Amino acid sequence: MVEINTALAGFGSGGRIYNAPIFSSVPGFRITKILTSNPSNVAAAENDFPQASVVSHFEEILKDKEVELVIVLLPNHLHYGYVKKALEAGKHVLVEKPFTTNVSEADELIQLAQKKDLVLSVNHNRRWDSDVRTVKKLLKNGILGEVVEYETHFDRFRKKIKTGWKEQPEIPGSGILYDLGSHLIDQALMLFGPPKEIFADIDIQRQGAKVPDNFHLLLFYPNTRVILRAGMLVKEKGPTISIFGTKGSFIKYGVDVQEEALKNGEKPKDHPEWGKEPREIWGKINTTSEEKLLESERGDYRLLYENLYEAIVNKASLEVTPQQARDVIKVIELAQKSSKERRAVAWDS
């Protein structure tokens, strides 16, 4: 099997906990360099990837002609600069979501990747959550008829304001809309495509918070309304996904099990039933002809990396294109405009 020499730019908690266990469970990626300077992250990198060289300067990755792929796992406001340098150095790139902090940066990177004939993708891994894979299959089967409303939540209860860039308004890409919102927006665009109009209510609810920590987005389609919601003060959680159609409904509670497994230090390669949801959180389907629990599709974040490998080695089509990831940023920008002006904003505006 052809191996892709890969460098990791960043090895904080996001890279160490949520990314490393996934791509280390996918054959074909050989981690040769890791960029990090924090002593605890250096120790973790050396423990997880003893064959890799830990470096403190990004130039050491850029100048290494053997490095073919760079995975950027840095704070949101650094994505554009690091991705641009990697592409200019002739490296394929996978960058953590969100792609960039604005559409113009995304467009520039897309053009650069095309000019260099390089693979550029974004880690919108939650397309491979079990509930989203279940919904995708459900919509394809048409069991609910014509869908008139789709609502999804990504809620947490976190009163304490954490330190760090995500809570600092002066840093581009901070706040809940770029964080949790990127996931929900990408899922909605994958399922329904670009909307006709967007209306948003973006708010700060926690005492002492300085960046948005709650949002309510409405994406308007000709015959469908898509509702995306997230908040940091939701102690008692309702349905994660609700779908209403002309033939019935689908209601789903609970969250994908992969995140908790990764927090516990588990790896997909060590678990034959990775991503399989327990029966207790299967969704309920209720139509004009039947009422039953619908077994969840298995979630599997490895599928993103498997597709990335095929795109680099065998020129396969990307599952997550940079254009799709750019559209996520476009929704965020239009949502910010809508919330500020208190009106619906057209997609083509």
Q: What is the pLDDT of residue 14?
A: 85
Under DSSP, the state recorded for 44 is: H
| Residue 92 · residue 99 · CB < 8 Å | no
Same domain, 43 and 140: no
Q: What is the CATH classification number for the domain harbouring 341?
A: 3.30.360.10
| pLDDT at site 305 | 97
What's the whole-number mean pLDDT along residues 27-38? 95
Q: Is residue 90 part of a domain?
A: yes
DSSP assignment letter at 255:
-
pLDDT of residue 150: 98
- Shared domain for 195 and 169, answered yes or no, is yes
The separation between CA 243 and the C-alpha centre of its own chain, rounded to angstroms, equals: 21
pLDDT at 76: 96
For residues 24 and 160, state if they share a domain: no
What is the C-alpha separation between 202 and 197, in angstroms, rounded? Answer: 16
Distance CA 287, CA 317 (A): 36
Could you give the number of structural domains in the chain? 2
Q: How far apart are CA 43 and CA 219, in angstroms?
A: 45
Domain that holds residue 68: 4-123
pLDDT value at position 349?
76
For 19, 43, 176, 183, 287, the CA distances from 50, given in Å and listed in that order, are 17, 10, 35, 32, 54
Average pLDDT, the chain: 96
In terms of domains, do 116 and 131 share one?
no
Q: Is the predicted pLDDT of residue 30 greater than 80, yes or no? A: yes
Confidence of residue 238 (pLDDT cuts 50, 70, 90): very high
pLDDT at position 178 over 80: yes
Instruction: Give the model's pLDDT for residue 163.
Output: 86
Interval 291-312: pLDDT, tens: 999 999 999 999 999 999 999 9
Considering only CA atoms, give the Rg of the chain: 20
What is the reported pLDDT for 92?
98
In this model, does residue 1 exceed pLDDT 90? no
Which of the listed residues 107, 123, 139 is the one where a domain comes to its end?
123
Q: In what order do the strands lie in the sheet with 53-55?
A: 53-55, 29-35, 4-9, 69-72, 92-96, 120-123
Residue 23: band (very low, low, confident or very high) from pLDDT cuts 50, 70, 90: confident
The answer to the question of residue 311 being in a domain is no
CATH code: domain of residue 10: 3.40.50.720
Q: Which of 121, 106, 36 is nearest to 71 (CA)?
A: 121
Q: Per-residue pLDDT averaged across 178-197, rounded? A: 98
**263 and 185 part of one domain:** yes
Query: At which residue do the structure tokens 């053009």 appear?
Result: 111
What pLDDT, in 10s, does the model give residues 82-96?
A: 999 999 999 999 999
Mean pLDDT over 57-84 rounds to 97
C-alpha pair distances (Å), 340 with each of 102, 201, 250, 337 = 17, 8, 33, 5
Assess whether 32 and 72 both reside in one domain: yes
Residue ending a domain, among 80, 106, 123, is 123
- What pLDDT does residue 231 have? 97
Q: What confidence score (pLDDT) does residue 225 get? A: 98
Final residue in a domain of this structure, among 99, 123, 147: 123
Same domain, 39 and 97: yes
Q: In this predicted structure, what is the pLDDT of residue 49?
A: 93
Distance of CA 236 to the CA centre of its chain: 24
pLDDT band at residue 162, thresholds of 50, 70 and 90? Answer: confident
pLDDT at 79 over 90: yes
pLDDT at 265 over 80: yes
Rounded distance between C-alpha atoms, residue 88 and residue 113, angstroms = 9
Q: How confident is the model at residue 67 (pLDDT cuts 50, 70, 90)?
A: very high
Q: Are residues 146 and 261 in the same domain?
A: yes
pLDDT at 15 over 90: no
Whether 79 is in a domain gets the answer yes
Main-chain phi, psi angles of 4, to 5 degrees = -100, 115
Amino acid symbol at 50: P
- Is 321 inside a domain boundary? no
Q: What is the pTM of this model?
A: 0.96
